[in-house]
């Protein structure tokens, strides 16, 4: 009764990828998992490309209607960014697929409108708003894309100590750089810097700059 519908195939694929990673995924492996001939997958969802495209669509769905908590526009923008990031980190493998299929720009879309509304409340509009909006989006998505790869890389190789001369004065810095990167802290630092210029903004009293 493993009714081999398109939807249940996608579920199995997502599960397999989540467990073994994208690079370990094969059509034949998926077919085995489903107890089905490979070719039957082609009938239901199409080839690997179509299957991955559908997975990205799923991720896009999860990104829609994210909550924006906070009592001020700036706080809501930061909240939105953090919530988007959380989903992307939770769905690392789907994010990796979106990346390698050149679909990362689509990840902008789901929260674009909400972000724009919050910026409008701050009086940020037009090309200014577009720039800020994209800067935030690139920060969220690109740092998530890289974190995934970076964290996996950190498990294998030891630090290269030869790059630091032993007489470098700031021992605390050297020690900090030798311990693994806290990507959450790095992300928050960057996000805070990005929204800082928005903090001393008038409410929509007009559009005066300077």
Partner DNA sequence: ACCTGAACACCGTTCAAGT
Taking the C-alpha atoms of residue 85 and residue 69, their distance in angstroms, rounded to an integer, is 15
Q: Is 112 in the site for DNA (CB under 7 A)?
A: no
CB 96 within 8 A of CB 148: yes
Burial label, 71 (beta-carbon count in 10 A; 0-12, 13-18, 19+): exposed
Q: Is 29 in the site for DNA (CB under 7 A)?
A: yes
Residue 209 contact partner, candidates its own copies, DNA, none, CB within 5 to 8 A by sort of partner: none
Residue 66 contact partner, candidates DNA, its own copies, none, CB within 5 to 8 A by sort of partner: none
Among 10, 22, 36, 116, binds DNA (CB under 7 A): 36
Show contacts with DNA in window 40-79 (CB under 7 A): 40, 42-44, 47-49
Q: Is 153 in the site for its own copies (CB under 8 A)?
A: yes
Contacts with DNA, residue ranges (CB under 7 A): 4, 25-29, 36-40, 42-44, 47-49
Contacts with its own copies, residue ranges (CB under 8 A): 99-106, 109, 112-113, 116, 120, 125-127, 129-135, 138-139, 141-143, 145-147, 149-150, 152-154, 156-157, 160, 163-164, 168-170, 172-173, 176-177, 181, 183, 185-186, 189-190, 193-194, 196-197
């Amino acid at each position: 009764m493993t009714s081999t519908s398109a939807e249940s195939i996608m579920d199995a694929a997502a599960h397999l990828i989540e467990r073994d990673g994208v690079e370990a995924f094969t059509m034949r492996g998926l077919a085995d998992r489903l107890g089905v001939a490979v070719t039957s997958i082609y009938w239901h969802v199409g080839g690997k490309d179509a299957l991955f495209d559908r997975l990205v669509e799923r991720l896009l769905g999860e990104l829609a209607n994210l909550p924006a908590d906070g009592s001020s526009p700036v706080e809501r923008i930061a909240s939105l960014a953090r919530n988007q990031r959380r989903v992307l980190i939770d769905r690392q493998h789907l994010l990796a697929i979106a990346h390698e299929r050149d679909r990362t720009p689509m990840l902008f879309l789901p929260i674009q409108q909400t972000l724009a509304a919050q910026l409008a409340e701050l009086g940020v509009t037009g090309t200014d708003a577009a720039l800020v909006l994209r800067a935030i989006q690139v920060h969220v998505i690109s740092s998530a894309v890289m974190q995934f790869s970076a964290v996996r890389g950190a498990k294998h190789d030891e630090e290269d100590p030869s790059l630091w001369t032993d007489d470098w004065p700031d021992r605390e810095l050297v020690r900090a750089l030798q311990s693994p990167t806290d990507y959450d802290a790095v992300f928050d630092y960057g996000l805070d810097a990005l929204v800082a210029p928005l903090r001393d903004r008038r409410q929509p009293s007009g559009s005066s700059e300077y």
